[in-house]
């Protein structure tokens, strides 16, 4: 459980001073995370990328000089303590923090333990040798859908015991999708607290973001009682989503399959380049479609699958969402 937020006063010639407790102030060295180091560098007006290349003593001298000459009286710092004190965030004094564990607790009130005690759970796994989807996969580090880094936390759960059939696969078996939702938060100032819906394609585990009536995205700014308000808004939105008719989604997939936008390699490359993808990314997207669909992309549906498959290779979940958002724009324009 994270400690309460700490405060730091900036005085000429004095290092960043952290509260050891609410009633006692003392100086001690701190180890900043990658994200916090960048925030601190930004506050003092120093280029973080350059400081990271310097020897630690020299980088410290530069930061110390910046802090000593920083005009603001206070900044708000956030740190955790284990075997050492780690600086996790440096923000303005008025920043309202929602701890990552508060998001997890709010989701647990909606989705239980994530292993099947409610309809929302960690996704199962498709057995490629048999083509059978197993919703009851053992949860491990490799199969979990809860991700955390030094800058954010992200999780997604699906309703994979109530599949939606949206067409057929090349072998004639049903192309199954599951309703799902993902949540995100950053207790260090990267992003707001939020939640959005998607459909997970069973055969390849690609997330397809799709506009859903009454529930597309919920965003809540960091403020007092924000986590409780999130749970209050999220629960009914998820219930509506779970009980909504899938017909609009199925019809959208059908229309996306039928809308042909490229027939040659030149068409494919032009289609992607006009939508902001680099030459290298365009080549990878086409390659992903060849790998998963067994043919080069021609329809909107094909390109969406290639983009969402490439998104799965992104290390950070927020970067993956950005790319999935590009695929969503294509789906939203299908008519």
Q: Which residue has the tokens 């009633």?
A: 23
| 155 and 55 in a common domain | no
| 79 and 44 in a common domain | yes
Tens of pLDDT along 20-58? 333 334 566 778 889 999 998 988 888 999 999 999 889
pLDDT higher than threshold 90 for residue 286:
yes
For residues 193 and 98, the answer to whether their CB atoms sit within 8 Å is yes
| 239 and 188 in a common domain | yes
Task: For residue 249, tell me if it sits in a domain.
Answer: no
d(CA 180, CA 282): 28
**Residue 194 CB burial class (10 angstroms; 0-12, 13-18, ≥19):** middle
Confidence of residue 72 (pLDDT cuts 50, 70, 90): low
Task: For residue 38, tell me if it sits in a domain.
Answer: yes
Question: What pLDDT, on the 0 to 100 scale, is given for residue 52?
Answer: 93
Question: What pLDDT, on the 0 to 100 scale, is given for residue 24?
Answer: 39
For residue 159, the enclosing domain spans 100-244
Q: Model pTM?
A: 0.76
Query: For residues 11 and 74, which has the higher predicted lDDT (pLDDT)?
Result: 74
d(CA 76, CA 315): 29
Question: What pLDDT, on the 0 to 100 scale, is given for residue 10?
Answer: 32
| 307 and 240 in a common domain | no
Question: What pLDDT, on the 0 to 100 scale, is given for residue 21?
Answer: 33
Of 216, 244, 272, which closes a domain? 244
For residues 177 and 208, the answer to whether their CB atoms sit within 8 Å is yes
Query: For residues 35 and 127, which has the higher predicted lDDT (pLDDT)?
Result: 35
| Number of domains within the chain | 3
| 234 and 110 in a common domain | yes
Q: What is the mean pLDDT of residues 297-308?
A: 94
Longest dimension (CA), the chain: 73
| 183 and 106 in a common domain | yes
| 121 and 197 in a common domain | yes
Tens of pLDDT along 208-261? 876 554 456 788 888 777 777 887 888 888 888 888 888 888 998 999 999 999
Question: What pLDDT, on the 0 to 100 scale, is given for residue 6?
Answer: 34
pLDDT higher than threshold 60 for residue 15:
no
Of 212, 244, 276, which closes a domain? 244
Three-state DSSP state, 56: helix
Task: For residue 1, tell me if it sits in a domain.
Answer: no
Of 36, 65, 91, which closes a domain? 91
d(CA 11, CA 15): 8
| 239 and 120 in a common domain | yes
């Amino acid at each position: 459980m994270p400690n309460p937020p700490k405060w730091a006063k900036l005085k000429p010639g004095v290092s960043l001073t952290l509260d050891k407790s609410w009633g006692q102030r003392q100086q001690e060295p701190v180890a900043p995370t990658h994200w916090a180091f960048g925030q601190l560098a930004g506050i003092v007006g120093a280029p973080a990328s350059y400081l990271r290349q310097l020897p630690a003593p020299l980088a410290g001298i530069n930061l110390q000089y910046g802090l000593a000459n920083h005009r603001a009286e206070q900044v708000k710092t956030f740190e955790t303590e284990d075997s050492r004190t780690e600086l996790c965030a440096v923000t303005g004094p008025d920043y309202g923090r929602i701890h990552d564990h508060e998001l997890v607790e709010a989701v647990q009130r909606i989705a239980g333990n994530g292993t099947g005690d409610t309809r929302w759970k960690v996704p199962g796994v498709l057995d490629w040798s048999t083509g059978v989807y197993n919703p009851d996969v053992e949860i491990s580090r490799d199969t979990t859908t809860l991700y955390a880094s030094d800058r954010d936390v992200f999780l997604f759960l699906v309703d994979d015991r109530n599949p939606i059939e949206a067409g057929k696969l090349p072998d004639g078996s049903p192309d199954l999708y599951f309703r799902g939702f993902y949540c995100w938060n950053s207790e260090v100032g990267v992003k707001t607290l939020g939640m959005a819906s998607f459909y997970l394609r069973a055969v390849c585990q690609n997330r397809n973001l799709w506009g859903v009536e009454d529930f597309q995205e919920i965003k809540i700014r960091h403020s007092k009682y924000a986590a409780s308000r999130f749970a209050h808004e999220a629960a009914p939105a998820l219930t509506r989503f779970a009980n909504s008719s899938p017909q609009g989604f199925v019809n959208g997939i059908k229309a996306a399959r039928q809308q042909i936008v490229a027939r040659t390699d030149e068409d494919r490359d032009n289609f992607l380049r006009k939508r902001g993808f680099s030459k290298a990314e365009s080549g990878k997207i086409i390659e992903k479609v060849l790998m998963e669909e067994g043919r080069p992309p021609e329809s909107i549906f094909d390109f969406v699958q290639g983009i969402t498959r490439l998104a799965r290779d992104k290390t950070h979940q927020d970067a993956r969402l950005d790319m999935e958002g590009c695929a969503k724009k294509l789906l939203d324009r299908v008519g």
